Amino acid sequence: MKIGILDSGVGGLSVLREIRKLLPNIPIHYVGDSSWCPYGNKSAEVINRRVFQITDHLIECGATLIVIACNSATIHSVGPLRDAYLLPIVGMEPGIKPAAQKTESGVVGVLATEASILGEKFHQLVNDHAKDVKVITRPCPYFVELVEAGTLNGAEAESAVKEAIDPLLDSGADVLVLGCTHYPFLGEAIQSRLPSGVSIIDTGIAVAKRVQSLVPRNSNSVVEATIDIETTGSLDQLNRILPSLLPDLAVNTASCSL
Ligand code: DGL
């Protein structure tokens, strides 16, 4: 058993850390497609091509289950991927359903990439689960840039958060959905901006639980299960920012030439 995880960059590590908490004894292989990051401004066709290439690579590296730790890639590619591969594929979508159930003001703010917001699947989600709720969307491409640069707090992060979130709060949103896996890394800056009574929905933990439910009980767990993290971008940059993204985890890093 080996869990393969992919994202446009380092954002999916926010999902990896939740999976690791639940499954410390299962090896993980992660690919961050930082040389193609962001996916948020790419077409469905480009995102699909990259997701297929990376999935093939993860399978070659021994992955027996794939996690698309990227909302944008899930929205565009999870269907075609499930049609093409036999192994289990876990995707993730913005938490519209839990947000619509939680809101008391009737207004939900969704922070997500443009690619996610424009996707057919996203509109389906809103139609299916949030018909009676006002859903306000807000793409935050700058959040992705900040996280890829390792800038998780400080003045720059705080002002980006203020600019993205204040209009949602002013419109009466009392639940904010973090619809991109990069955004939880700005969690501290986001939390400190929120007035009391406003909550955040991040689906990382739900995805980790779904992965756990798919791991057979008798699977070959190992005591010191490795975490291999590959990047298609700069390995130096990855090594520089990893201690702030995953402070408590020992990982191996490498370049990926896809
Ligand atoms: N982390 C990705 C997501 O969950 C996308 C970020 C990007 O590449 O634009 O949507």
Q: Which of 8, 36, 177 to mutate to test the pocket of ligand 1 (most atoms within 8 A of CB)?
A: 8
Q: What single string gives the DSSP state of each residue in 11-56?
A: TTHHHHHHHHHH-TTS-EEEEE-GGG---TTS-HHHHHHHHHHHHH
What are the angstrom distances between the C-alpha of 57 and each of 35, 54, 61, 230? 16, 5, 6, 11
pLDDT band (50, 70, 90) for residue 220: low
> Amino acid identity of 235?
L
What are the angstrom distances between the C-alpha of 76 and each of 70, 206, 232? 10, 20, 21
Q: Of ligand 1's atoms, which has the minimum distance to the CA of residue 40?
A: 9
Domains and CATH numbers, the chain: 3-91+205-255 (3.40.50.1860), 96-202 (3.40.50.1860)
Q: E strand or H helix at 111, and its extent? A: strand 107-112
Whose alpha carbon is nearest atom 8 of ligand 1?
38
Give the contacts of 33 (CB within 8 A, at least 6 positions apart): 6, 7, 8, 9, 39, 50, 54, 232, 233, 258
Q: What is the model's pTM?
A: 0.96
pLDDT digits 0-9 by tens, 187-202: 999 999 999 999 999 9
* Residues of the chain above pLDDT 90, percent: 97
In the residue annotation, 256 being an active-site residue is answered as no
Q: Of ligand 1's atoms, which has the minimum distance to the CA of residue 7?
A: 1
Q: How far is the CA of 39 from the centre of ligand 1 (A)?
A: 6
